[in-house]
Amino acid sequence: MGPDFVTNEEAIQAARRNLDQGAWDYLTGASESETTMRRNRLAFDRWAFRPRVLVDVTKVDPSTTFLGHKMRIPVMLAPIGSLQRFTPEGGVAATRAAHEFGIIHTVSTVTEPGLEKIAQAASNPKVFQLYVRGDWGWVKELIGRVKQAGYVALCLTVDTASPSRRERPMLHRTGPASATGGGRGPSYQAALTWETMDRIKELAGLPFMLKGVATAEDAAMAMEHGVEVIWVSNHGGRQLDHGLGTMDMLPEIVDAVGGKADIVVDGGIQRGSDVLKAVALGAKAVAIGKLQGWGLGAAGAAGLVRVLEIMEDEVVSAMALLGVTSVDQLNRSYVCRAEPVTSPHEMSAWVNMPVGRIP
**For position 98, what pLDDT does the model report?**
98
What separation, in Å, do the N-terminal and C-terminal C-alpha atoms of the chain show? 25
Report whether pLDDT(354) > 70.
Answer: no
Q: Say if 348 falls within a structural domain.
A: no
Residue 235 appears among annotated catalytic residues? yes
pLDDT band at 171 (very low <50, low <70, confident <90, very high): confident
CB 240 within 8 A of CB 31: yes
The rounded percent of the chain whose pLDDT value lies above 90 is: 89
CA 70 to mean position of chain CA atoms: 18
On whether residue 352 sits in a domain, the answer given is no
* CATH number for the domain that contains residue 55: 3.20.20.70
Look at strands 262-266 and 229-232 and give their pairing.
parallel
Q: 58 lies in which domain range?
A: 8-337
Report if residue 344 sits inside a domain.
Answer: no
pLDDT tens digits for range 100-128: 999 999 999 999 999 999 999 999 999 99
Q: How many domains does the chain have?
A: 1
- Asked, for residue 355, whether it belongs to a domain, the answer is no
Strands 47-49 and 335-337: antiparallel
Determine the Cα–Cα distance for residues 23 and 28; give it in Å rounded to an integer. 8
pLDDT at position 359: 52
**Residue 183: pLDDT band with limits 50, 70, 90:** very low
Q: How far apart are CA 122 and CA 79, in angstroms?
A: 17
CA 253 to chain centre: 17
Active-site residue, selected from the candidate residues 105, 235, 242, 345 = 235
User: Where residue 352 falls among pLDDT bands split at 50, 70, 90?
Assistant: confident
In a domain, 1, yes or no: no
pLDDT tens digits, one per residue of 278-315: 999 999 999 999 999 999 999 999 999 999 999 999 99
Identify the pLDDT of residue 168: 87
Q: What is the pLDDT of residue 187?
A: 86
Looking at residue 176, its pLDDT comes to: 56
Rounded distance, CA 197 to CA 23, Å?
32
pLDDT of residue 353: 74
Distance, CA of 307 to CA of 284 (rounded, Å): 21
Q: Is residue 321 part of a domain?
A: yes
pLDDT for the residue 179: 47
Write the pLDDT tens digit of every residue in 184-203.
445 899 999 999 999 999 99
Would you call the peptide bond into 186 cis, given omega within 30 degrees of 0 as the criterion? Answer: no
More confident residue, 216 or 163: 216
Does the residue 240 lie in any domain? yes
Report the pLDDT value the prediction gives residue 118, as an integer from 0 to 100: 98
Read off the pTM. 0.95
pLDDT tens digits along 194-239: 999 999 999 999 999 999 999 999 999 999 999 999 999 999 999 9
DSSP state of 9: H
| Residues written for the chain | 359
Residue 96 falls within a domain, yes or no? yes
> Do residues 332 and 50 make contact, with C-beta atoms less than 8 angstroms apart?
no
CB 98 within 8 A of CB 77: yes
Distant-in-sequence, close-in-space partners of 171: CB < 8 Å, separation ≥ 6: none
Q: What is the DSSP string of 282-308?
A: T-SEEEESHHHHHHHHHHHHHHHHHHH
Rounded distance between C-alpha atoms, residue 349 and residue 330, angstroms: 22
Pairing verdict, β 126-130 and 229-232: unpaired
Q: How confident is the model at residue 173 (pLDDT cuts 50, 70, 90)?
A: confident
* 45-95 pLDDT tens trace: 999 999 999 999 999 999 999 999 999 999 999 999 999 999 999 999 999
Query: Residue 172 pLDDT more than 90?
Result: no
- For residue 144, report the phi and psi dihedrals to the nearest 5 degrees: -60, -45
pLDDT at 213: 98
